[in-house]
Copies of this chain bind each other. A is one copy, B any other.
Amino acid sequence: MLYILIGIAEALCVAALVLVGIWMGVYRGGVAWDGSTSEFNVHPIMMTLGLIVFNGNALMLYRACRRTPHVWVKTAHVVLHCLALICACVALAAVWQYHDANGLPNVYSIHSWIGITVFILFAVQWLIGLFMFAFPCASLQQRDRYKPLHIFLGVFIFGGACAAALIGIEDKLMLSISTTYSSRPPEAYVANFFGYVILALAAVVTFIVTFAPWKRPEDIASEWQPIVTSTPARGLNIQEPSDL
């Protein structure tokens, strides 16, 4: 059941990227980096790729790769979060530069308020996680105490990113097709289905990540090892997972 849900989650990730690609590519004129609305279009694509697809996959890794040594999963978790952070920074730069190039104010809408809050939480969590878990400067006790908060915040930030995306879809539609939106043109269906896919993805990922019986077996020995000096912990207290 776990791997079926992971398959569904991956299909939803692909669907989200395809739908945002069609929306921005077919209906909104594609992407560019020239101050035009095509530069704005980089924003939803890169945010979807970063804070939803890469971020969601980083969360699922610990459940998906239950047979893989902990240090490898942790490395992939860090790499995916780095990719997510880079994508989110590019997405923010695109919308900021587009606003500046067109004399539009920044950070006035509820989408931008929630979106920037989620981004700051993500960046802070990434930084703390890097120093607490990847290249640890904290004791095992401190990390054990912080870990539940790290997991909660990770899931909450992913949910917040999905919510920010949904607000952003409404925002973009009201800015671009407000006069025709209520007559349900094809673009509205593409954007609404994109939102629906994000809602479904939020449900599937949070279930996979929080369902207690799918918890990865504890492997304290390799958990304690920082990425930079560790060797693969294969064979160290790794229990055979049951595919529930």
Chain A positions near chain B (C-beta within 8 angstroms): 104-105, 108-111, 113-114, 117, 148, 152, 156, 159-160, 162-163, 166-167, 169-171, 173-175, 178, 181-184, 188, 191-192, 195-196, 199, 202-203, 206-207, 210-212
Contact = CB atoms under 8 A, between A and B. Distances in A.
Nearest to A111: B170
Given A105-B182, A163-B162, A167-B166, A173 B110 contact: yes
A113 B167 CA distance: 13
B181 A108 contact: yes
A110 B170 contact: yes
4 closest A-B pairs by beta carbon, nearest first, are: A174-B174, A163-B163, A110-B195, A170-B170
A124 to B, nearest CB: 14
Contacts of A109: 170, 173, 181-182, 192
A37 B12 CA distance: 38
Contacts of A191: 110
Kindly name the residue among A113, A174, A175, A183 whose own CB sees the greatest number of chain B CB atoms within 10 A.
A174
